[in-house]
Structure 1
Amino acid sequence: MNDSPDGPIALEDAAAAVLQAEQAVRAARKQLRAAIVAAYQNGEPVASIAARTGEQPHQIRNLLDATGVRARR
């Protein structure tokens, strides 16, 4: 059993902490998607966005496509 310095961690408390962390991750991903779209719409190349975010260029292109952003030609 994992105990905190104050005693045992209740199952409900641990579940609530996981839920809160999952909500924070969803919010952060939403912010990242918006920032990626904005960077691309402001003229930044996909390769540059990928390098700045640690993603692969194909992941950036897929995200842009999924959000309805038209590819530059």
Structure 2
Amino acid sequence: MARTAATLAKGPIALGNLAAILHPVNGRSMAYALMVRRVVEIDLDARLGDRSECRAVPPLPLAMPSIRR
């Protein structure tokens, strides 16, 4: 996760490049797992491929909203 965060801090990157940075064999699966964990956002408007754009997911708020008004 640290390597991915450092890479995406520089800006968007192609899925193929991110996969190559993560692992030589399982990099793409690792990128998908990071998407599920809300670390990486992959553009799903187009067909997934090596050129799909990956971005860092903005951090979620730390505090839970109050249920009281």
With structure 1 as the length reference, what TM-score do the two structures score? 0.39
Q: Which has the higher strand share?
A: 2
Higher alpha-carbon Rg: 1
With structure 2 as the length reference, what TM-score do the two structures score? 0.41
Q: Which has the higher helix share?
A: 1
